[in-house]
Amino acid sequence: MDKQFRYKAHDSQGNNKSGLIKASNKQEAVQKLKKLSLLPISVKVEKGNFTLKKYMDKLNSIDIIATKVGYKDKYLFCRQLSSMLRSGIPIVQGLNSLAQQAKNPTLKKAIEDITIEIEKGRSLSNALKKYSSIFSGYFIKLVEVGETGGFLEETLSNLSDYYKRENEKKKEIISNISYPVITMGASIVVLILLMVKVLPNFIKTFKKLDIELPLPTKILLNLSNFMSNYWWLLVIAIVSFIAAIYYAYQSQKGRRFIDSVLLKIPILKSFITENSLILFARNLSLLERSGVAFLQSMQIVNQNISNIIIQERLERARLRIKDGINITSAIREQQVFPDIALQMIQTGEQTGELDDKLKDIVDFYEDEVEEKFSRMVSLLEPALIIFLTVVIGGIVASVILPIFKMSQGY
C-alpha cells in the first residue's frame, strides 16, 4: 500500500522544491524524485489523521521525568563523536559539528563550552567536569581512561551502547505502563464527574421526596456534597502532598527516610535492589574492562546508585574491601544483594574472571526484572476492572437503594 511522503529537494538549477509524493517506502520515494531530476534533502512519511495508535506511539516517546539531557541525546553524542574520531576527524572539528547538529539546547551549549576548553589546551575529560550535572563521574572517568590509554573511540562506542540500552529500556517501560496509566486517569476523571456533577442532582431529588435515606447513600451524598463545595481543598491537599514529598527528597534526611520506606515495601524492595544490582554490575564491569582500579571503580559506581540506603551500604562495603576484606564478604556483610549474585561474584574472585561474572549478573537479573515487571503490568488490567466494578458499582447501588425502597412502599 502506497504512503504519502513529504519531500524537500533541489532541482537541476538549485531551486528549492517541496511537496508530496506517493511510494511504498522511503527508498522508492527517493528514486522517484531522482527520476524527476530532483536532489532529495528530506523525505518523511506524511502524518495522517489522529488515531489512537499514533497517540500511544507519541506518548511512548515522552520521558516520564523531564531531564535536561536524556539517554538518547547522550547516545547520539557518544556514537557520533566516536565515529568522527575513528574516521580521523580532529576532536575540536568533531565537537563543532556535533554542536551544530544538537537539537537539545542544554547539550548544545555544553558541547560549545567543552570545545572552547579543549581549544585552550584542556583534555576532554577535564572539560567534561565543568558539566558534571550532564556527564556523570562514571562517564568522565571512562573518558579519562580512554584518553590516557589511547582508546577513546572504543570507550565512547561502549558508552553509546550503554545509553542506547538504557533508552530502549525506558521506552519499553513507558510503552508497557501507558495503557494502565491512561485507563486509571480516565477512571478517576469519570469518578470525579460522577461525584461532582451527577450525584448533586440526586441530592436535590431526594430532598424534594423527603425520604429516609439508607446509610451508604447518606455517606455517598455527603462525600459528593463535600467534593462539590470544597474541591479546591482537595486540590490544595494533593498539590501540598506532592510538593512535600518532592522537597523532602531534596534534603539528605528526607531522602534517607523515603528511600528506607521504599525498601520496606516487599514488591518495591525487590525491584529497587535488583535494578541497583544491574547498575552496579554493568558499570563496574565496564570500568574494570577499561583498566580502572577496583576500589576507584566501586567508588564511582556507588555514586550512581539512586537509592541512598543501598548507596551507603555499598560504600561501607568498599571501605571494608580497602581494609583487606575480600569483595564477596564485604558486600555480604551489608545484606544488600541476593545470594545468587554474591555466589557469582565469589566465583569471579576465585577464578580471576570477575568482569565476566559481573556481565553474567547483568544478563541474569535483567531477565528477572523484565519478567517481574511484565507480570505486574499484566495484573494491573484485571485490578483496574475490579476497582472500577467495586467503586462504580457501589455508587450505583447507593443511588438505587432509596429508589428501590420507594418502589417497595417504605
Say whether 260-372 and 68-205 share the same fold. Answer: yes
Residues for the chain: how many in total?
410
272 vs 51, which has greater pLDDT? 272
Give the whole-angstrom CA distance, residue 314 versus residue 312: 5
Q: How far apart are CA 197 and CA 400, in angstroms?
A: 17
Element holding 318 (H helix, E strand) = helix 308-322
Query: Percent of the chain, pLDDT > 70?
Result: 90
Please tell me whether the overall predicted TM-score, pTM, comes out greater than 0.85 for this model. Answer: no
pLDDT at 210 over 60: yes
Residue ranges of E strands in 279-394? none
d(CA 314, CA 297): 12
Here the cell at position 405 is 425502597
Please name the residue that has the C-alpha cell 483496574.
384
| Residue 285: per-residue pLDDT | 83
pLDDT of 117 above 80: yes
Lowest pLDDT segment from 77-91, 166-180, 226-240, 247-261: 166-180
Q: Above pLDDT 90, what percent of the chain? A: 4
Q: Which of the four CATH numbers 1.20.81.30, 3.40.50.410, 1.10.3720.10, 3.80.30.10 does domain 68-205 have?
A: 1.20.81.30
pLDDT digits (tens, 9 = 90+) for 314-352: 999 999 988 888 888 999 998 888 888 899 988 988 887
d(CA 261, CA 232): 30
- Whether the pLDDT of residue 53 is over 50: the answer is no
Whether the per-residue pLDDT at 51 is higher than 60: the answer is: no
The confidence score (pLDDT) of residue 34 equals 79
Question: Domain limits of the chain?
Answer: 3-60, 68-205, 260-372
Residue identified by cell 535492589 is 273
Closest CA to 95 of 164, 159, 156: 156
Q: What is the DSSP string of 210-233?
A: T-PPPHHHHHHHHHHHHHHHSHHH
Q: Which residues contact 216 (CB under 8 A, 6 or more apart)?
A: 394, 397, 398, 401
Round to whole Å and give the CA distance between 116 and 128.
11
**Contact yes or no for 199/399 (Cβ under 8 A):** yes
Kindly indicate the confidence band of residue 200, based on its pLDDT and cuts at 50, 70 and 90: confident
Using only C-alpha atoms, the chain has a radius of gyration, in whole angstroms, of 29
3-state secondary structure of 17: strand
Overall average pLDDT of the 40-67 stretch:
48
Residue 325 DSSP one-character state? -
The superfamily (CATH) of domain 260-372 is: Type II secretion system (T2SS), domain F (1.20.81.30)
